[in-house]
Structure 1
Amino acid sequence: MNGVNALEELILTRHGESAGNAAYRAARAAGAEEAGIPERDADIPLTETGRRQAAALGRWLAKLPDDERPTKVVASPYLRAQDTARIALAQTHFGPDEPGGLRIEVDERLRDREQGVLEGLTSLGVERRHPQEAARLRRLGKFYYRPPGGESWADLALRLRSFYRDLELSSPGERVLIVAHDAVVVTTRYIIEGLSEQEIMEIEKEPIGNCSVSRWRRREDALRPVVFDDRAHLFETDPTTP
């Protein structure tokens, strides 16, 4: 992601807390094998907490100086990401409802990593229902393991490289806000910073916060890290926001 006609800045955020996030938390606490999510992954909605987080993100965006605010917004096609983007931009003076405001573009390459046959299962559920897959995961390692019908982290990196290559060609000099998923944020760091498998899997152990901010800004003809998984803005106006 280098070059003269290249992106000026990337701002990445994970969607606000979703009903799926809450269901997995409850399932793990109860020692359950599955989260019991009725919707397909693409249709999982935000919780009320997630909507508050999205609004807090929007207030942070609204305070950015003109030379730092996004000039383009791209979101995952999944409901939780698109709703986060809409709620956040509604707090600003440059959202899609404002005259000349930014519209939210959607790109399917920003969707969450696909889990295949393991979708909806907790780690306990994977061990009990798919012991051979659990053993294969341990043998191959998390980065290269691909569940049946799903994607590995390496697969995700391939489609994100394609996305960013197209984004650079179509948006030179722009500051782009991307609203997507935790795996997209982590894998973007892997791509931009040229990290190793071991480095990115170590970073992945700490979950990315919902509506946290990660930024890379162009310096010396390359995108350089500014902040990663920053959540300070979520507590500035609502200290109860998790």
Structure 2
Amino acid sequence: MSTKILLVRHGETDWNVIHRFQGSSDVPLNDTGREQAQKLALRLSSETFDAIYSSDLLRAAETAQIIAQQPIIYDARLREIHFGVFEGLTFTEIMEQYPHEWDLWRKRQAPPPEGEEIADVATRVQVFLEDILTQHSEQKILIVTHGGIIGMIATQLLNHPPHKIWQFRFDNTSITEFGFYPQGIVLVRLNDVCHLTQC
């Protein structure tokens, strides 16, 4: 038997639509996001999970509440990366208001002002992973979180450097699954949104 982890990104928000940095800002789902979560709930309705974890930020928590058929464990370690002064701004606004800081962040030379160091994100994600893999050996776990955190989990499980998180794409309510076997870790599916495309 293997351990399985399903990672789900939260549903759409109004800030997603206009490409506004959310980070630790507590933004709710919009109507489309709720509909996406309902479609995911239908897709997962036949699956059984030994535990469901969620970020405590509203957009993830609301997604988890729509799809869960059992109690949810909220964990602040699953919060999105804190983007400091970039939060609440679009890419264009950041480049206009913080051109130097944007350039440093884009080149991975510094976090956004008042933002979270990527190494600190890596540490909290690593500790979370170690905890759940210890507590839920040979079980099936659902985790509802954010794109940056799913990217960080993926880089750690695939032995990539932390700054590679932005080389992955995770759409709203996508499923990314990892299996843990005696012979190693397997990426089973990546950014699966079949429930949204009626495939």
Cα distance in 1 for partners of 2:21, 2:167 equals 29
Cα distance in 1 for partners of 2:97, 2:147 equals 26
Stretches of 4+ aligned residues off by more than 3 angstroms: 196-201
Q: Residue deviations 1:124-158, cap 9 Å, x none?
A: 222221222123224xx23x531121113332211
Superposed counterparts of 1:93-108, under 5 Å: 95=69, 102-108=70-76
Q: Residue deviations 1:47-93, cap 9 Å, x none?
A: 111111101111111133xxxx321000000011111011112xxxx
Q: 2:36 aligns with which of 32, 49, 53?
A: 53
What's the Cα RMSD here?
2.3
**Residue 78 and residue 198 in structure 1: after superposition, are their counterparts in 2 closer, same or farther (change >3 A)?**
closer
The alpha-carbon deviation at position 214 of structure 1 amounts to: 0.4
Amino acid at match of 2:52: V
Amino acid at match of 1:118: F
**Residue 218 and residue 114 in structure 1: after superposition, are their counterparts in 2 closer, same or farther (change >3 A)?**
same
The alpha-carbon deviation at position 189 of structure 1 amounts to: 0.6
Q: State the TM-score, normalized to the length of structure 2.
A: 0.89
- The percentage of counterpart residues that share the same residue type is 29
Q: Are 2:133 and 1:168 aligned? A: yes
Q: Give aligned pairs, total.
A: 198
**Residue 198 and residue 135 in structure 1: after superposition, are their counterparts in 2 closer, same or farther (change >3 A)?**
closer
Gapped regions of structure 2 (runs ≥ 5) = none
Gapped regions of structure 1 (runs ≥ 5) = 26-34, 90-94, 96-101
Cα distance in 1 for partners of 2:78, 2:162 equals 20
**Residue 80 and residue 200 in structure 1: after superposition, are their counterparts in 2 closer, same or farther (change >3 A)?**
closer
User: Which protein shows a greater Rg?
Assistant: 1
Provide the residue aligned with 1:192 in structure 2: 157
Cα distance in 2 for partners of 1:123, 1:160 equals 26
The alpha-carbon deviation at position 16 of structure 1 amounts to: 0.5
Contact kept? 1:9, 1:223, Cα under 8 Å: no
The alpha-carbon deviation at position 197 of structure 1 amounts to: 5.3
Q: In structure 2, the residue corresponding to 1:49 is in which secondary structure?
A: helix
**Residue 131 and residue 187 in structure 1: after superposition, are their counterparts in 2 closer, same or farther (change >3 A)?**
same
**Residue 200 and residue 86 in structure 1: after superposition, are their counterparts in 2 closer, same or farther (change >3 A)?**
closer
Contact kept? 2:148, 2:166, Cα under 8 Å: no
